[in-house]
Amino acid sequence: MAIQIQQIYDITAPVHPGMMVYKNKEAKQPKFMCVQDFTTASCYESRIDIDVHTGTHMDAPLHMIPNGATIETINIEQLCGPARLVDLTHVEDRITKADLETCGVQAGEWLVLKTKNSLKEEFDFQFIFLAADAATWCVEQGIKGVAIDALGVERDQPGYPTHKTLFNGGVIIVEGIRAADVPAGEYTLILAPLRLVGTEASPLRALLLK
């Protein structure tokens, strides 16, 4: 059966040296190196040196849980399917359970969170994040995953309850999406992380199809 696609929204952050990185840490900046170019060779080749949490990326349980699952073990079928983008650009500080209860997300769907983070080009140390009670609610709803437009699904919450609740509840975490131009509504989400073996995260391409 052919899927009729009316519109494709690319919600992936462009990756380049000088991009927005977590807490503006210089060590997290991607490095692009030209291995050879046409002055020395007949073809152009590059190498990249990037943190696996660069830009739009997926976290695997190993990020917070010793001996937790690694990125390549997440079933690709979990990463493609129905999604609901919720406009939370009015929310201040953190997204709570009360902000999500009426959003209408169904079991088996992805929840895509658009906040005022998507409207900012610079790293905001007070970025909007998902509170622990909202993470518990996500697990209770049986959603497949949650994607947020912050480089962290929580700030430095002691004990990282949001990450751990989602990981332990089988809810996949995507961070760093860019959703400024995407209206609220229902979509098909396509997430394609690199097939890295044994890592706790991977950059990915994230698309919302209408």
Using CA atoms, how far residue 6 sits from 9, 62, 81, 112, in Å, is 10, 37, 16, 19
Name 12's Cβ contacts closer than 8 Å, sequence gap at least 6: 55, 56, 177, 178, 204, 205, 206, 207
Shortest Å, Cβ 36 to Zn ion: 32
Nearer to Zn ion, 131 or 201 (CB): 201
Nearer to Zn ion, 82 or 169 (CB): 169
CA-nearest of 171, 203, 158 to 100 is 171
Interacting residues with Zn ion (CB under 5 A):
53, 59, 175, 201
Shortest Å, Cβ 201 to Zn ion: 5
Read off the tokens for 142: 């049986």
Nearer to Zn ion, 172 or 201 (CB): 201
CA 55 to chain centre: 8
- CB closest to Zn ion, residue no: 53
CA-nearest of 93, 64, 72, 59 to 171 is 59
Phi, psi of 151 (to 5 degrees): -75, -5
Nearer to Zn ion, 2 or 66 (CB): 66
Nearer to Zn ion, 109 or 175 (CB): 175
Shortest Å, Cβ 176 to Zn ion: 8
Shortest Å, Cβ 28 to Zn ion: 11
Shortest Å, Cβ 120 to Zn ion: 18
